[in-house]
Structure 1
């Protein structure tokens, strides 16, 4: 009986392994950082922290623009977030060490540090996963998150499924936030550039 049970378990485990996503492939770091340069629209994300997921869900829409800093591997991150019916803008610079990238956001007197990496993903997509450390009222809080951005705000359903598999490989829950991808904060720099072009 024990032999039959072992054979049944072996057969079951081989079927399970065959249906499991190839996590090594799905979680490969992106080597060519030039692929992340440009403007991106936040499409979907999740976190292992209920508090962080709640904060993520408060974002109505969000875009960011990544620009390389001359003479280094670093980049500048410019963003426009819409929540509570208002637009909030900012710019921060990255610090890179190997495949790890650190970006720190400052809000009033507190700091929120994101340390993570970009993963290989679909064309015209960017996937970022990180660990966040923040100080709230003197208390240190940590969480992990994963985000998918697209250049156009549109995403093929098969690419969304691939992202969900990536999240599963990294032990995230199945609860995702899907912000608005069309009603974005206006890009003040682009508007200023358009005005200059018209004046010329």
Structure 2
């Protein structure tokens, strides 16, 4: 079943069907996974759904049509990953490359004035679910690079949850499970981003390369 082009009331129904879970029920859903087995991260995945608590990041998601990323071993060693990402934002493609450091069960990256930490949560087969905390300064600079305009505060701290998958659609059960996890993390509403397959994925190198310094 194609979740994204079915009835617009589907999302509402899924949100309403997620009842509040107890802390005990939430614990196994949001306990970070070990990153000892690096191969679990070596995937090419598509952005399927996401939540964020920031108006600035919501603004970006509003204009994001599709996004995918490839996580691969870094030449620097086992403590790093190379992450290549391609985003279609407001009709244009933008690519980026960043090295991500692995320490314990946490991934971290720093690009320009944006620093982020990521933890991997339990998810569906072929999926990567990231619990993200970011600290950004002068995010307006990034917006200009991707042809968006806005005026947000100089400093922004954001909590986000991003579901990525090797496929471009998921089952109702997988979506329901993700919404339960998001609810446990404080997101009790419809996702801020839901991928619609009518939007094409950017080809590697198709558009501009975004460089933040």
Do Structure 1 and Structure 2 share a fold, with TM-score over 0.5?
yes
Maintained 8 Å contact 2:72/2:83: yes
Maintained 8 Å contact 2:29/2:122: yes
- TM-score (normalizing by structure 1): 0.77
Q: How far apart in 2 are the matches of 1:143 and 1:130?
A: 8
Maintained 8 Å contact 1:57/1:179: no
Note the residue ranges of structure 2 that are not aligned, 5 or more in a row.
1-18, 141-152, 207-213
2:85 alignment counterpart: 79
- TM-score (normalizing by structure 2): 0.72
Larger radius of gyration: 1
Show CA shifts across 1:32-77 (max 9, x none). 3321212000000011123222222221100000001243231000
Q: How far apart in 1 are the matches of 2:90 and 2:182?
A: 28
Given the alignment, which residue of 172, 175, 192 partners 1:157?
172
1:52 alignment counterpart: 57
- Secondary structure at 1:165 match in 2: helix
* 1:179 has 2:201 as partner: no
Maintained 8 Å contact 1:78/1:90: yes
How far is the alpha carbon of 1:105 from its aligned partner?
3.2
The structure whose residues are more often helix, as a share, is 1
* 1:25 has 2:28 as partner: yes
Show CA shifts across 1:69-98 (max 9, x none). 243231000010001211001100012221
Q: How far apart in 2 are the matches of 1:154 and 1:77?
A: 22
Q: How far apart in 2 are the matches of 1:52 and 1:83?
A: 13
Alignment of 1:1-200 (within 5 A): 20=22, 22-31=25-34, 32-70=37-75, 71-106=77-112, 111-136=113-138, 139-176=154-191, 177-181=193-197, 183-188=200-205
Q: For structure 1, which segment, 138-147 or 117-126, has the greater mean C-alpha deviation from structure 2 after superposition?
A: 138-147
Q: Which runs of structure 1 show a deviation greater than 2 angstroms over 4 or more consecutive aligned residues?
A: 179-182
Aligned residues: 169
- Secondary structure at 1:74 match in 2: strand
